[in-house]
Amino acid sequence: MWHTGYLYLMDPKHLLQLAIIVELGSVTKAARKLNVTQPTLSRTVKIIEDRAGGAVLRRGRHGVTATDIGARLAAEGRAILRSSEQAQTVVQEWRSGLSGELRVGVGPMLAATIMGDFIAETIEAPPSYSLKMHCEVAARLAKRLKNNELDVAIIPYDLDRKDDGLHRENLFREHLSIFVGEDDPLAGRTNVSPQELADYHWISVGAISGLFDITRETLDRLGLPMVTPATEITGDVTMTFRMLEKTKSCSMLPFRMTGTFQNRFRVAPVGLNVDLPPRNIGLWSTTTNRDRPEVVDFIKRLDAYLTRTIRQDIAAARA
């Protein structure tokens, strides 16, 4: 058996080479990619196996695969490779005159609607730092923020994270609405009873927005306890819109953000005779990062953009 103490004797270069071998499934292909000879890589594998105390590769008819310990060591090699690539990026950014970086997390709905146009506008007057955008569901982004893998996250303000030391501030007000296809008889109607949606194919996108089971909770609130969402979609919004266009389906989505899709997809809101829950959007950060110059500049730019777009729509709706 191998012992964890042997990991301290592992050459990082060897672990990186192992990661490439496992990724390509071939020592020969890895040798070509790394520009070394195949015997050199074979010796690397032998050294690792001696240190680990067991085989790290299985050889078969179609190449090589990692053993359990081989997969774990290859994961360490991939981490080394990522760190090396990030270091190279830092050097390139510094040579280009960029003073730092900002890691920003956004959910799939925001990424598909507001953030694309905002980042495009930012490129026109580029900041002095680089932007690293990460798109995942809200709960994962909050976790990455807590683990210092992100600097800020734009996710639902009301996401329940208890007392986790994260700072949040409201960006703009949002609320949920039921959407159907533009040709649906309920499209654009007002004073619609929830019971009129009872026989629709419900599509749940709760995981996209970050509040798991929000569709279930709202259905109960609407007096539709027997309705069960037949389809659940995570990480993508365009599939939902296509289904709404082509079938007798409905889905609960953020009203203003979904409205930005209406020139691309033929979907429309249903005016229920009851109110749906608010879905306000917030900017989250760690307490230590909130006052960083990059964060302050990013928030200033985002706030100016929202004032001209989303908040303008809200003001018009109130008038």
Segment 215-261, tens digit of pLDDT: 777 888 888 888 888 888 877 788 889 999 999 999 988 888 887 77
Q: Is residue 182 part of a domain?
A: yes
The pLDDT of 272-285, averaged and rounded, is 88
Q: Which of 91, 120, 137 is the last residue of a domain?
A: 91
Query: Nearest to residue 281, comparing CAs of 145, 171, 169?
Result: 171
Q: Is residue 200 part of a domain?
A: yes
Say yes or no: 8 and 42 in one domain: yes
The pLDDT of 302-306, averaged and rounded, is 90
Q: Is residue 275 part of a domain?
A: no
Between 108-112, 196-200, 314-318, the lowest mean confidence (pLDDT) is in 314-318
The pLDDT of 59-74, averaged and rounded, is 89
Q: Is residue 154 part of a domain?
A: yes
Say yes or no: 167 and 212 in one domain: no
The domain that holds 69 is classified in CATH as 1.10.10.10
Say yes or no: 102 and 164 in one domain: yes
86: pLDDT strictly greater than 90: no
The pLDDT of residue 221 is 83
Say yes or no: 218 and 255 in one domain: yes
Say yes or no: 214 and 191 in one domain: yes
Structural domain count of the chain: 3
Instruction: For residue range 195-214, list pLDDT tens digits in order.
Output: 999 999 998 886 544 444 56
The domain that holds 186 is classified in CATH as 3.40.190.10
Q: Is residue 256 part of a domain?
A: yes
167 burial via Cβ count (<10 Å: 0-12, 13-18, 19+): middle
Say yes or no: 183 and 258 in one domain: yes
pLDDT band at 161; cut points 50, 70, 90 = low
Q: Which of 60, 91, 122 is the last residue of a domain?
A: 91
Say yes or no: 286 and 151 in one domain: yes
The pLDDT of residue 167 is 87
Q: How many CB atoms lie within 10 A of CB 253?
A: 25
Say yes or no: 19 and 141 in one domain: no
Whole-model pTM? 0.66
101: pLDDT strictly greater than 50: yes
Q: Which of 41, 64, 91 is the last residue of a domain?
A: 91
The rounded distance, in Å, linking the Cα atoms of 134 and 150 is 9
Cα–Cα distances (Å) from 149 to 88, 99, 109, 315, in that order, read 18, 19, 21, 36
**Terminal Cα distance for the chain, rounded:** 73
Say yes or no: 227 and 84 in one domain: no
Give me the residues paired with residue 8 across strands: none
Say yes or no: 234 and 293 in one domain: no
If DSSP codes are grouped into helix, strand and coil, which group holds residue 169? strand
Say yes or no: 28 and 60 in one domain: yes
Angle between the N-to-C axes of helices 38-52 and 27-34, in degrees from 0 to 180, rounded to the nearest 10: 110
The rounded distance, in Å, linking the Cα atoms of 21 and 17 is 6
The pLDDT of residue 63 is 87
Q: Is residue 131 part of a domain?
A: yes
Look up the domain containing 17 and give its range.
4-91
Q: Which residues of 240-252 are buried (b: 16+ CB within 10 A; e: fewer)?
A: bbebbbeeebbbb
Say yes or no: 158 and 297 in one domain: yes
